[in-house]
C-alpha cells in the first residue's frame, strides 16, 4: 500500500490518549523513531477520566513506572471495584468487585454452589465470598496475591487519579525519552493528492509539520480520522441512550473509600470517585429525558461535599469509528469512539490501542492486511465492552421513569441476548478469548441486578447439603479473617 519506511511519528493531541501513546512508543521504539506530539493549550483537554481497571497496573509496569511515585504524582487512590446503587431496583446495590469470588472447581464455577445454597434457603449474598468487596466496604487494602495459607487469589485492584496530573506525569516521562512536544493549533490537515495519505499538518502560525504516520489523539474533535478522512461511525446510542455528562469536583469527604460509586438516578447515573485531595463527581444522562439544568441540580443535590468549581457539561455520542486505522492515520482515545464511563473502559481502550499499534507497527511501510487485522481486533474489543455496558441498563427492573422503561424494553444485540438467556436458564457464562470482562464480572452484574440462574451445574449435587454449607462457611471465614488483618486504605495511602 505504501512502502516508505516509517520514521517520523506525529501524535496530534496531548490528553491522556496522546501522552499514553507517546510514553509507550518512546519506551519501546524511541531509539528508532522520531516522535513528536502536537497539542494546543488553547483548546485544552477533556479533563475527566479518573477511574481505571486492573490492567493499568500491567501497563504502568511495562513502562517501568513506580507505583508509589505514580500515586503521589496523581493524587491517586486504590479502586477495588464499582458499587452500583439503584440499578436493578431502587434502594438495592451490588458491586462489580475486581478479582475472583469464592473458589472455582474444575468444570464447575463457584456461583453454581452459591445458586444451590440459595435454593437451600441461604440468606448469604454473593459478595460475602468476595475478598475485594469485603475489603472495599471495610475501607481496607493490602497488596496480597493469595489469601494466607490457601490457594485462593488475593486482592485485585486498579486506581483512581487526577486525569490532568496523569497526563502531566506521562508528558514528563515521554519528554525524558526524547518525545518532542510542539505547542500550537492544527488549522488544516493536508492530504497527498495521489495516495490520500496525510502529508502534513498546517499550523495556525503558518508552519507545517510533516510525518510518515499520524496518530489522531484529538479527542472528540477527531480532526484526522473523522474531519479529514471521514471513515464513518457506528452509532450505538439506541442501546446506550446517555449522551451528556455534567462533572464537578468536590472537597474530600473524610475517609477515602477504595471503590467507585455509580448511583442510578431517574434518567442517568452519578459517579463518585475519591482521590487523595478531592472527590470527582459527575452525572451521566440522556438529554432526551433530562435538561442540562435538571442534571446540574440532581448532581449538586447529591454531592458528598462542597463543590470546588462550576459544573461543566460534556456532550458525547456512544459508538465507534468504523476504522480505527485508515491510510497513515491511527486514531486512539476519544477520537476513535466513546463509551460512557460506567465501567471505566476508556483509558483501558487507549492502552490496548497503543499496545496493538506497537504489535502491528508498520516500520517498513503500511500494508492493507495489517490495517485490516488491526481494525478487526479493535472492533471485537469495542463490541464485547459495548455488550457488557448495555447489560447494566437492560437488566434494570425499574419502571419509575420513561428512561428506565425504555432501557428495560429495548431490543439488545443478539450476542448479548444469547449470553443473558444462557445464564438465566443454565447458570453458564463464557467469555471469548480476548474479552476484557471476565466471567466473574458478568456474573456479578447479572446476579446483582436480579438475574439469578434457574439451574446449576450437576456436579454441585454430588455434595450433600451439609458439605455445601460447610464449604460456604469456610470460604466466608477465610475471607473475613484476611480482611481483618489488612491495614486501612488511608494507612496505605499515607505510607506512600
Ligand atoms: C464524562 C466523562 C467521564 C469519563 N470518565 C472516565 C473514567 O472514569 N475512566 C476512563 O477510563 N475514562 C473516562 N473518560 C474518558 C477519558 O476522559 C478519555 O478517554 C481520556 O481522557 C482521553 O481523552 P483524549 O486524550 O482522547 O482527548 P482529550 O483529553 O480531549 O485531548 C485532546 C487533545 O487534542 C488536542 N487538540 C484537539 N484539536 C486540536 C487541534 N486542532 N490542534 C492541536 N491540538 C488539538 C487538545 O488540545 C488535547 O490536547 C471519561 C470521559 C467523559 C466524557
Mean pLDDT of successive 10-residue stretches along the chain, which has 496 residues: 87 98 98 97 92 97 97 98 98 98 93 96 97 98 96 97 95 98 98 97 98 98 98 98 98 92 98 97 98 98 97 97 98 98 98 98 94 97 97 98 98 96 95 89 97 96 96 97 97 94
User: What pLDDT shows up at residue 400?
Assistant: 97
User: What pLDDT shows up at residue 432?
Assistant: 81
| HSE (side-chain half, CA atoms, 13 Å) at 438 | 12
> Grid coordinates representing 61?
509496569
User: What pLDDT shows up at residue 45?
Assistant: 94
Task: Pick the catalytic residue from 79, 137, 140, 323.
Answer: 79
User: What pLDDT shows up at residue 74?
Assistant: 97
- Residue 333 beta carbon below 6 angstroms from any ligand 1 atom: yes
- Residue 185 beta carbon below 6 angstroms from any ligand 1 atom: yes
Whether 79 is catalytic is yes
Choose the residue to mutate in 167, 341, 342, 436 for probing ligand 1, maximizing ligand atoms within 8 Å of C-beta.
341
The secondary structure of residue 314, as a DSSP letter, is E
Choose the residue to mutate in 20, 21, 334 for probing ligand 1, maximizing ligand atoms within 8 Å of C-beta.
334
- Residue 337 beta carbon below 6 angstroms from any ligand 1 atom: no
- Residue 38 beta carbon below 6 angstroms from any ligand 1 atom: yes
CA 168 – ligand 1 centroid, Å: 13
- Residue 245 beta carbon below 6 angstroms from any ligand 1 atom: yes
- Residue 22 beta carbon below 6 angstroms from any ligand 1 atom: no
- Contact between residue 51 and residue 160 where contact means Cβ atoms under 8 Å apart: yes
- Contact between residue 330 and residue 216 where contact means Cβ atoms under 8 Å apart: yes
CA 200 – ligand 1 centroid, Å: 23
Alpha carbon 408 to its chain centroid, in Å, reads 24
The pTM of the full predicted model, rounded to 2 decimals, is: 0.97
User: What pLDDT shows up at residue 125?
Assistant: 97
CA 71 – ligand 1 centroid, Å: 21
Q: Hey, whose CA ends up nearest to atom 7 of ligand 1?
A: 49
The secondary structure of residue 455, as a DSSP letter, is -
Which residues 6+ apart lie within 8 Å of 122 measured at CB? 469, 472
Rounded Cα distance between 388 and 406, Å, is 18
Q: Hey, whose CA ends up nearest to atom 31 of ligand 1?
A: 15
User: What pLDDT shows up at residue 253?
Assistant: 80
> Grid coordinates representing 429?
457464562
Rounded Cα distance between 21 and 215, Å, is 9
Q: Hey, whose CA ends up nearest to atom 38 of ligand 1?
A: 218
Q: Hey, whose CA ends up nearest to atom 16 of ligand 1?
A: 49
- Contact between residue 262 and residue 83 where contact means Cβ atoms under 8 Å apart: yes
Rounded Cα distance between 198 and 11, Å, is 13
- Residue 46 beta carbon below 6 angstroms from any ligand 1 atom: yes
Q: Hey, whose CA ends up nearest to atom 4 of ligand 1?
A: 49
- Residue 182 beta carbon below 6 angstroms from any ligand 1 atom: no
CA 49 – ligand 1 centroid, Å: 8
User: What pLDDT shows up at residue 2?
Assistant: 73
> Secondary structure of the chain: what % helix, strand, coil (to 5)?
40, 20, 40
Alpha carbon 265 to its chain centroid, in Å, reads 21
- Residue 51 beta carbon below 6 angstroms from any ligand 1 atom: yes
Phi-psi group of 405: left, alpha or beta (phi > 0 → left; psi -120 to 50 → alpha; rest → beta): alpha
Q: Where are the alpha helices (DSSP H) in 268-413?
A: 292-301, 346-359, 368-394, 402-409
Alpha carbon 144 to its chain centroid, in Å, reads 23
Amino acid at each position: 500500500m505504501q512502502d516508505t519506511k516509517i520514521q517520523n511519528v506525529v501524535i496530534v493531541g496531548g490528553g491522556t490518549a496522546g501522552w499514553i501513546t507517546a510514553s509507550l512508543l518512546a519506551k519501546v521504539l524511541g531509539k528508532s523513531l522520531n516522535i513528536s506530539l502536537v497539542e494546543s493549550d488553547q483548546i485544552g483537554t477533556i479533563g475527566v477520566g479518573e477511574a481505571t481497571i486492573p490492567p493499568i497496573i500491567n501497563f504502568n509496569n511495562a513502562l517501568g513506572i513506580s507505583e508509589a511515585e505514580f500515586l503521589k504524582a496523581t493524587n491517586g487512590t486504590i479502586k477495588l471495584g464499582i458499587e452500583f446503587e439503584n440499578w436493578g431496583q431502587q434502594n438495592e446495590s451490588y458491586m462489580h468487585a475486581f478479582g475472583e469470588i469464592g473458589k472455582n472447581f474444575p468444570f464447575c464455577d463457584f456461583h453454581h454452589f452459591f445458586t444451590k445454597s440459595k435454593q437451600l434457603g441461604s440468606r448469604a449474598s454473593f459478595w460475602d465470598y468476595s475478598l475485594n468487596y469485603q475489603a472495599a466496604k471495610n475501607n481496607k487494602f493490602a497488596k496480597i496475591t493469595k489469601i494466607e495459607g490457601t490457594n485462593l487469589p488475593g486482592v485485585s485492584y486498579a486506581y483512581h487519579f487526577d486525569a490532568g496530573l496523569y497526563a502531566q506525569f506521562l508528558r514528563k516521562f515521554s519528554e525524558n525519552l526524547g518525545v518532542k512536544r510542539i505547542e500550537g493549533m492544527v488549522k488544516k490537515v493536508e492530504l497527498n493528492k495521489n495516495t490520500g495519505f496525510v502529508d502534513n499538518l498546517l499550523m495556525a502560525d503558518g508552519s507545517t509539520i510533516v510525518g510518515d504516520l499520524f496518530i489522531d489523539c484529538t479527542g472528540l474533535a477527531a480532526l484526522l480520522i473523522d474531519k479529514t478522512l471521514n471513515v464513518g461511525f457506528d452509532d450505538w446510542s439506541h442501546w446506550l441512550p446517555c449522551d451528556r455528562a455534567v462533572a464537578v469536583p468536590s472537597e474530600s469527604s473524610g475517609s477515602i473509600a477504595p471503590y467507585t460509586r455509580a448511583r442510578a438516578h431517574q434518567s442517568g447515573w452519578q459517579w463518585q470517585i475519591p482521590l487523595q485531595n478531592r472527590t470527582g463527581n459527575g452525572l451521566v444522562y440522556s438529554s432526551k429525558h433530562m435538561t442540562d439544568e435538571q442534571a446540574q441540580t440532581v448532581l449538586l443535590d447529591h454531592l458528598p461535599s462542597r463543590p470546588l468549581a462550576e459544573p461543566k457539561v460534556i456532550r458525547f455520542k456512544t459508538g465507534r469509528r468504523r476504522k480505527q486505522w485508515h491510510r497513515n492515520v491511527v486514531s486512539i482515545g476519544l477520537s476513535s469512539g466513546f463509551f460512557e464511563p460506567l465501567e471505566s473502559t476508556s483509558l483501558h481502550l487507549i492502552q490496548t490501542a497503543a499496545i496493538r499499534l506497537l504489535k502491528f507497527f508498520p516500520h517498513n511501510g503500511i500494508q492493507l492486511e495489517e490495517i485490516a487485522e488491526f481494525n478487526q481486533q479493535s472492533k471485537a474489543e469495542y463490541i464485547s465492552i459495548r455488550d457488557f455496558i448495555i447489560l447494566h441498563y437492560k437488566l434494570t427492573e425499574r419502571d419509575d421513569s420513561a428512561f428506565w422503561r425504555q432501557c428495560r424494553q429495548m431490543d439488545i444485540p443478539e450476542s448479548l441476548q444469547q449470553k443473558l438467556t444462557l445464564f438465566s436458564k443454565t447458570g453458564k457464562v463464557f467469555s471469548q478469548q480476548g474479552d476484557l470482562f471476565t466471567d466473574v464480572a458478568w456474573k456479578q452484574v447479572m446476579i446483582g441486578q436480579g438475574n439469578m440462574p434457574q439451574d446449576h451445574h450437576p456436579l454441585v449435587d454430588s455434595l450433600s447439603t451439609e458439605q455445601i454449607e460447610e464449604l460456604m462457611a469456610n470460604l466466608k471465614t477465610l475471607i473475613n479473617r484476611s480482611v481483618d488483618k489488612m491495614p486501612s486504605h488511608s494507612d496505605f495511602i499515607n505510607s506512600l
